[in-house]
Amino acid sequence: MMVARTVGIDDIATYVPRLYLDATDFAKERGIPPEKITKGIGIEKMSIPDAHEDAATMAAMAALKLMQKNDLQPKDIGFIHVATETGLDEAKPISCYVQGMLEQIYGNGSFEHIGAPETKFACVGATYAMIDRLAFINSGWNKGKHAIVIATDIAKYDLLSSGESTQGAAAVALLLKEDPRLMMYEPDSRGFGTRDDQDFFRPVGRTTAVVNGHYSVGCYLRDMRIAADAFRKNMLSSGIVSLSAGEGMIDHVDRIAFHSPFPKMVEMAFASFLIHDWRGLPRWKRIIEQTGPEPDRTGMSDIDFYVSEPYKQFRKKFTKTPEFTAEFEKKVKDSLEALKLIGNSYTASLWMCVESSFEVKTNDLAGKRFAVGSYGSGSSAIVCSFIVQPDYRQVVDSFSLMQDLSRRNKISVAEYEDLHEERLDPHQGIDAPRNEFVLDRLGETETDFGYRYYTFVK
Ligand code: CAA
C-alpha cells in the first residue's frame, strides 16, 4: 500500500565558474550597443568555464558542496541523477564521472550502491529528473536514502552569432528527500506541455547549439501556456486551490521562477502568463484601458501570434502597467539577480533562479506557494509548485551564491575566444585551479580513446 509522504527539495548548492566575461566589453568588441545586451536582453556578465572545467567538473563541484554543507556520507545517498544537454560522451553518463570524482574524496567504491542515470531534454531535463526522483522517494522504494539531482550545463553558441550574448555556465545540485526543510512538492500540481519542434538543438559532434532565436521565444511561450493551462486544471480539479469570484491562479502563487535564458525572456514569460490568467477577470478592464485591446489572433498559430509585432507591442504596454509591475517585483524579480551575472545555464538556470529568489528576498516565505515554470527546447514545459517549509530559513542562511558571484575574475574577449574555441590545454587555463575537480587529460590509446580523466587539485 502506498503511504502519502511529504517529499521535496531539502537544500540547493550551486557551482559557478570563477571566470566571467563582461557584457559591455563583449558588446564593444562585437560592435553592438552595450545597452542592447545589458538592457534589451538584461545580461551584465556571462560565466565562462576555464580550460580545466567541463559539465562534469561543475556537476561534481555542486554535488560536493551539497554533501559537505549537509554533512552527508555516501551511505545517505541512493541516487546521483544528472540532467544536462552538454553531454560529454554518447554512452557514459556524466553521473558516473561525478561518482568517480566524489569517490576521490569519500573513498574508492564508497558510492557503489547508488543508481546514477542521466536525463536529457534540453533545459527542462532537471525538472523531469526531479519529478522522477521525488516519485521514487514518495513510493518508499528509496528506503530512507536521499537523491541528488544535478543540473549542469554550458550554454554555447557560435562566435559572432546572435546567440553569443546569451551564453553562460553553472551547475546546481538539489537534495531531495522526505520531510524536506526547504520546499514540499505538490505532486498534483504538475502540468506538462510538449511539442515535437525544432527551435533549438545540437546535432551529434557539434559543441554549439543550432538555434532559431525568435522562433524559440515563440515555442517557449506556447509550451509554457499549455503547461500553465494544465497546472491550473490540476490545481482546481485536485482541490488544492479554489478560485473565488474575480481571482486568478496567480493570486494563489506567492513566488515564481522560470527557465531563464536571459532576464528579458522571463519578463516576457511572466507577462504572457498574467495576460492569459487575467483575461476575462474584472481587473482586465483596467488593463485594457491602459494598453488598448489585445490584438486579434484569428487564423494564427500560437507561435505566429506570440512573435507577431502587434502582440509584442501589446505585451510591452502590459509590462508598463502598475498591475504587472507590482506582481513582477513581488514574485519574480529577485530570481533574476544571479541570472544577470551568470547568463544562461540551460538545465541549471531555473534552479539557480530559485536559489537567487530565496537568497535575495528577506521577507517571510514560510507556508507560501513557490511555483516553477521549466522549459526545454525541442520542446517541453512543466509548471508545478511547492510549499515553502516552516524551517526554510535555516537552509537559506547557508546559501552563498551572490557572495560566490562577487569573487570571480574578469577575462578579456580574446581570452574568452580562446576558451570558446578550445585552444587551451586543460593545464594551461586562465586561472590556476584550487580546491576543485579538474579535467586532467583525455585518453589516447585504443582502449581509452576520448575517456576523460579527472582529479582533485588542492
Ligand atoms: N538599447 C536597448 N535595447 C535594445 C537596443 C539598444 N541599443 N537594441 C536592441 N534592443 C532590444 C530590442 O528591442 C529587443 O528587446 P524587445 O524584445 O523587448 O524588443 C532586445 O534588445 C533584443 O534584441 P533583438 O531581438 O534584436 O536581439 P537578437 O536578434 O540579437 O536576438 C535572441 C536575441 C533571440 C535572444 C538571441 O540572442 C538568441 O537567439 N539567443 C539564443 C536562443 C534563446 O535564448 N532563446 C530563448 C528561448 S528558448 C529557451 O529558453 C531554451 C534555451 O535556453 C536556449
C-beta separation of 386 from 184 below 8 A = yes
Per-residue pLDDT of the chain (458 residues; tens, 9 = 90+): 455 689 999 999 999 999 999 999 999 999 999 999 999 999 999 999 999 999 999 999 999 999 999 999 999 999 999 999 999 999 999 999 999 999 999 999 999 999 999 999 999 999 999 999 999 999 999 999 999 999 999 999 999 999 999 999 999 999 999 999 999 999 999 999 999 999 999 999 999 999 999 999 999 999 999 999 999 999 999 999 999 999 999 999 999 999 999 999 999 999 999 999 999 999 999 999 999 999 999 999 999 999 999 999 999 999 999 999 999 999 999 999 999 999 999 999 999 999 999 999 778 999 999 999 999 999 999 999 999 999 999 999 999 999 999 999 999 999 999 999 999 999 999 999 999 999 999 999 999 999 999 999 99
The C-alpha cell that represents 336 in the structure block: 533574476
| Cα–Cα distance, 163 to 126 (Å, whole number) | 22
pTM: 0.97
Check pocket membership of 313 for ligand 1, CB cut-off 6 A.
no
Residue of the nearest CA to atom 38 in ligand 1? 163
C-alpha cell at 250: 496567480
In a 3-state reduction of DSSP, which class is residue 318?
Answer: helix
- Cα(144) to ligand 1 centroid in Å equals 45
How far apart CA 143 and CA 272 sit, in angstroms, is: 42
Mutate to test the pocket of ligand 1, among 32, 86, 166, 308 (most ligand atoms within 8 A of CB): 166
Residue 154 CA, chain-centre distance (Å), reads 12
Q: What is the distance in A from the centroid of ligand 1 to the CA of 253?
A: 28
User: Is any ligand 1 atom within 6 A of the Cβ of residue 423?
Assistant: no
Cα of 264 to ligand 1 centre, how many Å?
8
What is the whole-number distance in angstroms between the Cα of residue 416 and the centre of ligand 1? 21
CA 41 to ligand 1 center in whole angstroms: 5
> What is the CA(325)–ligand 1 centre distance, in A?
21
**Ligand 1 lined by 307 (C-beta under 6 Å):** no
The interaxial angle of helices 283-291 and 263-278, nearest 10 deg, is 130
